[in-house]
Amino acid sequence: MLKLRSRFVYHSQMTKGILSYQDVRQQTVALCASLKTEDFCAQSMPDVSPTKWHLAHTTWFFETFILSKAMARYRSYNDCFKYLFNSYYNGIGEQFPRESRGLLSRPTVEEVLDYRKKIDQQMVALLRNKKQKEKWNYFVQLGLHHEQQHQELIITDIKHVFSLNPLQPVYKKKAPKRNVSVGKMNWVRFNEEETLLGHEGVGFHFDNEGPLHRATLIPFQIANRLVTNGEYLKFIEAGGYKKSQYWLSKGWEVVQREKWNAPLYWKKEGKEWFVMTLTGIKKVNTSEPVCHVSYYEADAFASWMNARLPSEAEWERASQEVSLKGNFVQKKSFHPQPVEKKNQQVLDQLFGDVWEWTRSPYVPYPGYVASKTAVGEYNGKFMCNQMVLRGGSCATSQDHIRSTYRNFFYPEDRWQFSGIRLAKDL
């Protein structure tokens, strides 16, 4: 019924590639290579989960939604895990309280790794059977994309854990320093048009990316690159955190209550701003994209700039102009920090580096119906009070992201790699 324009098909073709079970599973463990046993256990705030929990929960997903259903007389690895590693699937049963995950010293890391091994053996056996593989393909792919999301959380969560430790642990050795100058922000213009929004249905995607639907865009312009630390610093120095007029009402409340005066992980020593990264504490680099800001801060900054954040429709329309590449997690080596980049004059940095806050609340697309199965709890029930972010970050895997991908967090959340791209009415 809806006519798909050619530019739209572009990215969705890219994502048709099927993820490899072993690759994704091994990558999760590989991300933990530099962690000590003790690091796997800490929960620094209710939003953060211990690494150990991520390792077990992603495994629980395959055991619960595939093995226990695919295999006759399946014997669970440990009956208690059903409760301990269920995140929020009420359809599966009760859950161990989220905010208490850090209190569990058992199972040990070794036991969790054994759990992974045993489930992997059974999964690999299952997938060797062609008929079974076909039958469970959707859930396997869902589980792998789900696991990729937790790979990102492993990175963001351990960063938060390390940030509270006066001993300043480091996740990764420092990367070589770049030295590029970021030019002036430019604006890319889009006319009024009717566009198509959402995933057209071919290739893996989450159900919240559909249905594909028409949306009317008013004329707008969008910044060609991300907002930098340097630009954000000017906002701080102009008293941005002290002037209520830039802030949403709830945002201003949080600023006062939490005494926010800069992005998360920034700290002023004397006259100099420093930032804690996964490679250690360093001076704030004014050329790098600003990161770890909440929606409230992104919105206030935009306000101060006499601009606004893009809607997700605008962002998605703009993303159709560029190819899907950027600063992502690479299998072998990656830099868990957004990077500065020489100005391209054209639309850039849409993918990778930082998730970009949009002004769009996370709501169902017209015609969306949440699945009634337990797996359906994945998306629908969170469609309230959260904001959509787009484009992936330096902690995202490239084969995880799409131009239609909708991430979502609460407006006060800052511990994700979240940044800012500006937009304006034309």
Which positions lie near a copy of itself, rule CB under 8 A?
A: 36-44, 52, 78, 80, 83-84, 88, 90-91, 96, 100, 102-109, 161-162, 164-167, 169, 194, 213-216, 218, 244-245, 247-252, 295-296, 299, 311, 359-361, 363-364, 366-367, 369, 372, 381-385, 411, 425
Beta carbons within 10 angstroms of residue 338's beta carbon: 27
| Shorter beta-carbon distance to a copy of itself: residue 310 or 392 | 310
Dihedral angle, C-alpha 204, 378, 147, 159, nearest 10 °: 130
Nearest to 50 by CA among 94, 84, 25, 73: 84
Least separation in angstroms between residue 310's CB and a copy of itself is 12
Least separation in angstroms between residue 291's CB and a copy of itself is 21
What Cα–Cα distance (Å) separates residue 371 from each residue in 67, 205, 208? 20, 14, 10
Tell me the two tokens of residue 379.
């998306």
| Shorter beta-carbon distance to a copy of itself: residue 196 or 354 | 196
Q: How far is CA 412 from the centre of its chain?
A: 15
Nearest to 65 by CA among 48, 35, 85: 85
| Shorter beta-carbon distance to a copy of itself: residue 250 or 268 | 250
Q: CA 74 to CA 229: how far, in whole Å?
A: 53
| Shorter beta-carbon distance to a copy of itself: residue 13 or 256 | 256
Whether the CB-CB separation of 2 and 214 falls below 8 Å is answered with yes
Least separation in angstroms between residue 111's CB and a copy of itself is 9
| Shorter beta-carbon distance to a copy of itself: residue 103 or 238 | 103
Tell me the two tokens of residue 251.
């945002």
Least separation in angstroms between residue 309's CB and a copy of itself is 11
Nearest to 21 by CA among 107, 142, 106, 115: 142
Burial 50-86 (b: 16+ CB within 10 A, else e): bbbbbbbbbbbbbbbbbbeebeeeeeebeeebbebbb
Beta carbons within 10 angstroms of residue 408's beta carbon: 20
Nearest to 410 by CA among 300, 203, 251, 271: 251
| Shorter beta-carbon distance to a copy of itself: residue 90 or 345 | 90
Least separation in angstroms between residue 335's CB and a copy of itself is 23
| Shorter beta-carbon distance to a copy of itself: residue 133 or 372 | 372
Least separation in angstroms between residue 277's CB and a copy of itself is 17
| Angle between the N-to-C axes of helices 130-163 and 109-128, in degrees from 0 to 180, rounded to the nearest 10 | 160
Least separation in angstroms between residue 140's CB and a copy of itself is 25
| Shorter beta-carbon distance to a copy of itself: residue 214 or 342 | 214
Q: CA 367 to CA 190: how far, in whole Å?
A: 27
| Shorter beta-carbon distance to a copy of itself: residue 110 or 237 | 110
Least separation in angstroms between residue 216's CB and a copy of itself is 5
Least separation in angstroms between residue 356's CB and a copy of itself is 17
